[in-house]
Amino acid sequence: MVDTLSITLAQLNQSVGDIPGNARAMLAGRERARAAGVDLVVFPEMQLVGYPAEDLVLKPAFVARAAAELEAMAKVTADGGPAMLVGSIFVQDGALHNGIALLDGGKIAAIRLKHELPNYGTFDEVRLFQPGPLPEPVVFKGVMIGLPICEDVWHPDVCRHLADFGAELLICINGSPYEIDKDTLRIEGVARRRAADTGLPLAYLNRVGGQDELVFDGASFVVGTDGSVPVQLKDWEEQEVTTRWRRTAKGWVCEPGEVAQLAEHPEDIYCAMVLALRDYVDRNRFPGVVLGLSGGIDSAICAAIAADALGPDRVWSVMLPSRFTSQLSLDLATECATMIGCRYDTIPINPAVEAFDAMLAGSFADAEYDITEENVQSRIRCVTLMALSNKFGPMLLTTGNKSEMSVGYATIYGDMAGGYNPLKDAYKMTVFAISEWRNQHKPRIGLGPDGPVMPQAIITRPPSAELRPDQKDEDSLPPYPVLDKILLGLVEHEKSVDQLVSEGLDRDTVVRIERLLYVAEYKRRQAPPGVKLGTRNFGRDRRYPITNAFRSG
């Protein structure tokens, strides 16, 4: 039995499906810990296979490869160096489990299985895994360590069982995706409660990095039995921090260490967009991105996000003016690209618009000019940008925000088409907030310019699609502060029309927005992926039928 322990919390990124690559990264981390004389290195949930691996875990070859790699990692620990706690997938009694293995002394010394399987929001582990039994602690150097896994600490039973069984401290590995204010919830609403319930200190290790529509913020920490936070890791960055533990008359205590300052709002949202895009582009092996730069705020902030994610040299912005594009838009787009430092080209779409007008003249002879012709312009722009993507390889970014996507104020097969949308879960007022913030600050994970990234006039000018003369978004939509308030109620909080009217909103407006929200569902199903920011993003969280006759007002 020992009276001191050194435990490295390895807050790492991971690549889903790259089992050998993930193993190499963990072994490299262990080697650094070995040089420092560390006792134990802990890695995040399912670090070996990547999280969430979704239906990859149903492939027997995938499961077998993970098992073989884990055995190989275990043999490395025969050198007498640090033990490792590694999250992976396991098969026991013919059932598939999410679990954690203690690798020590050249073997898999213990395995513990996740008991509480989340089945809400972005999680559907119930369809993939079987729950493990209430776990017992593992014994390491004579110390009883409880190993709850992610969801296990969001409910009291597992931690109480571990404490009753003699656990002396808790180490919880996680794949907890970012949501606004979730770091506070993890500490205040979960970790401190479990520490108070059990009388045990808790080390909470979370992964960092993007995976399709999810992004993981890291922000790992240790909570003491008194609710203190002696160690706080950074958010949005990989980090390895060695925590020092000692046995006292009152139990195990983590000595004070690094306490990082976490990103505040709206920097956290901006960092989520940057990291998610970076990992999506790099892991799918795109050389960079291309996007339309219109002189409006949505495309400007997307270009800035891309530059901070990838570096300005991997961002290609294109102005695609029509006869309705104002000189102000041309000037602002040019200035924005210069401020960001990215490539900027201009490709007028008038020749293609005129060609389509001629092609459709016979069929449209007795019809007035309307939204159809507006949408043709948007689709021509998409065809042009996709041609650049196909010819030269950069992924096409779309730039529509959540407010527009909610009410269908976007052109299917036009400005909605592309490979990824950083703003998919960002309402228009959020777009304004992060644009103002980025013009005054640079995120610590950013690769873009140090100064402002767009002219202030882009932020202050009235939003417009510029698909007809003197067009403004508010010609057909409520002002964005009103629209976003309605959408927050309808989408994020599932409120009825009557509830929103009772809060002072106009009934006719709310009824109209609810109708637009429902009828645009078929468009959203065909939209590209984009990073999840809130609790009810379109796709993974909010799954509504396309064909839907229900209205609440």
Residues 74 and 214 both lie in one domain: yes
φ, ψ dihedrals at 133, nearest 5°: -70, 165
Q: Which residues are catalytic?
A: 45, 114, 150
- Per residue in 443-458, pLDDT (tens digit) is 999 999 999 999 999 9
**In this structure, what token pair is assigned to residue 81?**
């160096």
368-406: pLDDT as tens digits: 988 898 899 999 999 999 999 999 999 999 999 999 999
| 433 occurs within a structural domain | yes
Q: What is the CATH number of the domain that holds 233?
A: 3.60.110.10
For 94-98, what is the mean pLDDT?
A: 96
d(CA 225, CA 198): 8
Same domain, 57 and 87: yes
Domain range enclosing 342: 267-470
Q: What is the CATH number of the domain that holds 463?
A: 3.40.50.620
Q: Percent of the chain scored above 70 by pLDDT?
A: 99
Percent of the chain exceeding pLDDT 90 equals: 90
Statement to judge: residues 296 and 228 lie in one domain:
no
Residue 70 in domain:
yes
Q: In sequence order, what are the beta bridge partners of 292?
A: 318
Per-residue model confidence (pLDDT) at position 547? 85
Based on the domain organization, do 170 and 313 belong to the same domain? no
d(CA 407, CA 122) in angstroms, rounded, equals 23
Kindly state whether residues 314 and 226 are assigned to the same domain: no
Measured distance CA(289)–CA(294) in Å, rounded: 16
Mean predicted confidence (pLDDT) in 436-442? 98
Does residue 538 lie in a domain region?
A: no
Q: Rounded to an integer, what distance in angstroms lies between the CA atom of residue 491 and that of residue 488?
A: 5
Question: Is residue 61 domain-shared with residue 168, that is, in the same domain?
Answer: yes
- Say whether both 409 and 435 belong to one domain: yes
Angle, in degrees to the nearest 10, between helices 297-310 and 428-438 = 50
Structural domain ending residue among the three candidates 224, 254, 284: 254
Q: Say what the pLDDT of residue 536 is.
A: 86
The reply to whether 350 falls in a domain is yes
**Rg for the chain, CA atoms, rounded:** 26
**Given this model, what pLDDT does residue 476 score?**
77
Q: Is residue 357 part of a domain?
A: yes
Please give the backbone phi and psi of residue 122, each rounded to the nearest 5 degrees, phi first: -80, -10
The 10 Å Cβ neighbour count of residue 220 is: 30
User: Which residue, 88, 87, 11, 77, is CA-closest to 38?
Assistant: 77
As a whole number, the mean pLDDT across the chain is 95
Same domain, 278 and 240: no
In which band, very low, low, confident or very high, does the pLDDT at 535 lie, cut at 50, 70 and 90? Answer: confident
Q: Are residues 126 and 273 in the same domain?
A: no
Query: How many structural domains is the chain composed of?
Result: 2
SS3 187: helix
Lowest mean pLDDT among 115-129, 300-314, 506-520, 539-553: 539-553
Could you tell me which residues are beta bridge partners of residue 195? none
Residues 6+ apart with CB under 8 A from 489: 495, 499, 500, 503, 505
| Preceding peptide of 52 cis, ω within 30° | yes
This prediction's pTM: 0.94
Give CA–CA dist 465/467, Å, rounded.
Answer: 6
Could you read off the pLDDT of 340-364 as tens digits, one per residue? 999 999 999 999 999 999 999 999 9
Contacts of residues 260-263 at CB distance under 8 Å and 24 or more positions apart, as own/partner, are: 260/232, 260/233, 260/234, 260/235, 262/183, 262/219, 262/232, 262/234, 262/235, 263/235, 263/236, 263/443
The tokens describing 8, both together, are 């490295």
Nearest one of 185, 262, 178 to 214, comparing CA atoms:
178
Residue 69 bridge partners (DSSP): none
Does any domain span residue 453?
yes
Side chain identity at 35, as an amino acid letter? A
Same domain flag for 275 and 244? no
Which residue, chain included where needed, has tokens 């602690």? 137
Q: Is residue 204 part of a domain?
A: yes
Q: How far apart are CA 172 and CA 174, in angstroms?
A: 6
117 and 66, same structural domain? yes
**Domain end marker among 404, 438, 470:** 470
Of residues 290, 309, 306, the one with CA closest to residue 382: 290
- Interval 122-134: pLDDT, tens: 788 999 999 999 9
Do residue 309 and residue 243 come from a single domain? no
Q: Which of 470, 498, 515 is the last residue of a domain?
A: 470
Span of 91-95, 311-315, 370-374 with lowest mean pLDDT: 370-374
Whether residue 303 is contained in a domain is answered as yes
The pLDDT assigned to 553 comes to 78
pLDDT confidence tier of residue 466, bands split at 50, 70 and 90: low
| Three-state DSSP state, 172 | strand
Above 90 in pLDDT, residue 539? no
Lowest mean pLDDT among 13-27, 242-256, 473-487: 473-487
pLDDT band at 474 (very low <50, low <70, confident <90, very high): confident
In the predicted structure, residue 200 carries a pLDDT above the cut 70: yes
User: pLDDT confidence of 468, banded at 50, 70, 90?
Assistant: low
Angle between helices 428-438 and 267-283 (to 10 degrees): 90
Calpha distance 183→394 (Å, rounded): 34
CB 217 within 8 A of CB 183: yes
